[in-house]
Chain A
Amino acid sequence: MSLPARRLHDAPASLPLPVVTSAPAATPRALPRDIEAALWRGDQIGVPVTAVVPSGFAALDAELPGGGWPCNSLTELLQPQPGVAEWRLLGDAVRRAVAAGRTLVVVGPPHSPHLPGLQHLGVDERHLVWVRADRPAERLWVTEQLIRANAAGLLLSWLPQARPEQIRRLQLCAQSCDAPVFLCRPVTAASEPSAAPLRVELRFGADWELQLRLLKRKGPTHEGVLTLASVPGGLESILTPRLRQPSRLIAARQARDTLHVVGSPAPRRPAARAAVRSLAAH
């Protein structure tokens, strides 16, 4: 219904409708409230009718339809390799789910989850379930069962080999699931079609950053990279100002290495200092 309404207002004078010609300056704001709510304009971010869970990053919420991670649908997280930045991105959603007394279910993570680390996200032992499924078919079955049951507070599933029709099936099931469902998939899946309404490419930056590209969302396409500051749980307290920007340390080290290779035939051992220091503790 959006298109005819839009044409109505941008209509040239040749349209025979007297309403349009008599009020050419009628702005879209003048529409009644209920029509306004039902109208979607091409330049707006789509508003999902479902509930959302705030992501905890204001910059990201502003770009997500509805202002957060959508419930009742799938969200794909595409990463170059699994197990790099999932918890950093989802930390706030996890914290909210657990604080509401609901259980976090992880299906087939690449490594075993470490509860002391997850405690920094507010997870405690009563609210975490790890389903260890190795075969792709098992992972899909478990994910579908959990989505259908609508019992988890947040579902995080690693599905590296899912095919588009399988994702479509999960998305159909997820429409009746009240919790956000995240599927972690490799970044190579970005070229495949997917039924998930929200697809996020997630990379990490050296200076305690997450770099996000919204590959697909309801509404106009998103250009550019969202950079979100994020320090993994527990590390915040030990970061010195020097450690705030590890990229400088890396650059300095690389410059040193090049200098050694070019300048001195017998290179010193740059890491020996660290080794000696820790050996002293023995």
Chain B
Amino acid sequence: MELEASVRLFGGKRRLVERVRDESAALGVAQLSWAPTSLAALALARAARSNGFAAPLAEVLDALPLDALSAVAAHRATLARLGCTTLGQVRALPRGGLGRRFDAALLATLDQAYGLRPEAHRWVEIPDTFAVRLELMARVELAPALLFGARRLLLQMCGWLAARHAGVTAFTLRWWHDAMRSKAAGEGGELTVRTAQPTRDVEHLTRLLAEHLAHVVLSAAVGDVQLLAVDVCPLAPPSLSLLPEPRQVGENLALVLERIAARLGPDQVLRPLLCEDHRAEWMTHWQPAAASAVHTSHPPRRCVDIPQPSFVLTQPLRLALRDHRPLYQGVLQLLAGPHRVEGGWWDRTVADGQSATRHVARDYWVALSEHAGVLWVFQTRLDDEQIAWFLHGMFA
């Protein structure tokens, strides 16, 4: 990558080198090197040396072995019989003879590496889809340990996403068991992670994947992992402002809830949805927060003007009676009521294999208990014509 023109953007060459050195380690880069020409840098890296600026380029390159440049390495056997072991010795041979005995690529490569001939590179074309496979350095027995390899792939994926100005909403981690597996273990498995909002934040994706991997039990040791970007959609990065930002407001709530849902299960993180119903059990429909993020643009529904408790019991609790008065931590003092709620024969459901309706006929009262606060109780007639009292909510 030609950087000379934009060195200042990165805060100088030294800073840039440091940043590249620090961040490339996570991608699995083993050797970094830099030199005035790209082929020279490549040759230095192959020879396990890094700095091509320490001495004049010709001196540095002359000492390198033949393997350092691919075009030279192809003729290694012939050159070795001529007595050449370093690039400098090859270059010392007469050019005319070299051009006649070997192909044109050898001379061209040598000239390009030494900076005598301009280098032409092909444009890097970013693939349309992302699917990268990585062979793990050691067999992995536990699913959370897959994260180490997966993080390297995630970094690559986020680089790919940044280059395409896109974010991911679903990605799949696939793994293959190694050859020593038992027959019952199968080929491998896969895990698809979905996010509510498109993102290319490595840290968030890693934590999300870690939560999902914590639930996975591997049936055999894993040798390879592959990461695929399944759903990709365009994502514009937030533009930076010239003026200082007021303050970082913290993490996005959706991201935290997503992480919590990944650990506890999607049914444990809920957002309400008001339903047009008069029966308290079905007034609020709770749905997973991730699914309802789409519907958040609804205008708020109108407020009910009749008294409603702030907590309801999922199952109304039948109250004991004394002298025909309901008891809940003492005798209840009925304050206001009755408020008749009736109907629901149209709401059919299947309970215990028989179809039934959720018909209710209840008289709600606001009651006061000396210990349990203001309660919402109702009186209803049971199937055997008995009158029963139930506790249904609390005005907490």
**Is B379 located at the chain interface by the 8 A CB criterion?**
yes
Pairs A–B under 8 Å by Cβ, sample size 18: A80-B371, A84-B394, A112-B312, A120-B308, A125-B300, A126-B298, A132-B270, A138-B263, A234-B304, A237-B307, A238-B336, A238-B366, A246-B333, A270-B325, A275-B387, A278-B338, A281-B338, A281-B363
**In the complex with contacts A84-B394, A114-B310, A272-B324, A243-B256 CB distance below 8 A:** no
Report whether B312 and A114 are in contact in the complex, using a CB–CB cutoff of 8 Å: yes
- Given known A271-B325, A278-B338, contact A235–B395 (CB-CB < 8 A): yes
> In the complex, are the beta carbons of A114 and B283 less than 8 A apart?
yes
B residues 324-361 in Cβ contact with A at 8 Å: 324-325, 331, 333-338, 340, 361
A177 vs B251: C-alpha distance when bound (angstroms): 11
Partner of A88, one of B270, B371, B396: B396
Query: Which residues of B are found within 8 Å of A267, using beta-carbon distances?
Result: 323
Which 7 A/B pairs are nearest by Cβ-Cβ distance? A150-B250, A232-B395, A151-B253, A124-B300, A117-B308, A117-B310, A84-B373
A255-282 contacts to B (CB < 8 Å): 267, 269-272, 274-275, 277-279, 281-282
Scoring A residues 177 to 188 as 1 if CB is less than 8 Å from chain B, else 0, what string do you get?
Answer: 110000000000
| B303 is an interface residue with CB less than 8 A from chain A | yes
A239 to B395, CA, bound (A): 14
Q: Is the pair A129, B396 in contact by a Cβ cutoff of 8 Å?
A: no
Residue pair B396, A84 in contact (C-beta under 8 Å):
yes
CB distance from A74 to the nearest CB of B (A): 17
The answer on a CB contact under 8 Å between B363 and A278 is: yes
User: Which of the 9-residue segments B19-27, B53-61, B271-279 touches chain A?
Assistant: B271-279
Assess whether A225 is interfacial by the CB under 8 Å rule: no
B44 at the interface (CB under 8 A from A): no
- Tell me the bound Cα distance from A206 to B361 in angstroms: 29
- Complex Cα gap A275–B373 (Å): 22
Assembly CA distance A176 to B144 (angstroms) = 30
In the complex, chain A residues whose CB is within 8 Å of the CB of B337? 278
CA distance A215 to B267 in the complex (A): 37
Partner pick for A145 among B260, B312, B331, B379, CB 8 A cutoff: B260
Is A109 touching B311 in the complex (CB atoms < 8 A)? yes
Q: Which of B272, B284, B334 has the most CB of A within 10 A?
A: B272
B372 within 8 A of A: yes
**B contacts with A, residue count (CB < 8 A):** 69
Question: In the complex the two chains form, is B307's CB within 8 Å of A118's CB?
Answer: no
Which residues of chain A are near B372, meaning CB under 8 Å?
81, 84
B residues with CB within 8 A of A: 249-253, 255-257, 259-260, 263-264, 267-274, 280, 283-284, 286, 289, 296, 298, 300-301, 303-314, 323-325, 331, 333-338, 340, 361, 363, 365-366, 368, 370-374, 379, 381, 387, 393-396
CB contact under 8 A between A114 and B393, given known A151-B252, A269-B323 = yes
CA distance A138 to B208 in the complex (A): 17
Across-interface contacts of B273 in A (CB, < 8 A): 125
Which of B253, B311, B363 is A114 in contact with, Cβ under 8 Å?
B311
CB contact between A243 and one of B312, B336, B393 (< 8 Å): that residue: B336
Chain A contacts for B324, CB-based, 8 A: 269, 271-272, 275
* A161 CB to nearest chain B CB (Å): 17
- What's the Cα separation between A27 and B36 when bound, in Å? 76
Assess the A145–B387 pair: CB atoms within 8 A: no
Please state if B396 and A234 are interface contacts (CB–CB under 8 Å).
Answer: no
Q: Which of B251, B306, B365 contacts A149 (CB 8 A)?
A: B251
Could you say which of A131, A235, A278 contacts B269, with CB atoms under 8 Å apart?
A131
Given A84-B394, A275-B387, A277-B338, A125 and B312 contact (CB-CB distance below 8 Å):
no
Of all chain A residues, which has the CB nearest B337?
A278
Which residues of A lie under 8 Å from residue B379 when comparing CB positions?
275, 278
- Nearest residue in A to B269 (C-beta to C-beta)? A131
Select one of A141, A149, A243 contacting B253, CB under 8 A: A149
- CB-defined contacts of A109 to chain B, threshold 8 Å: 311
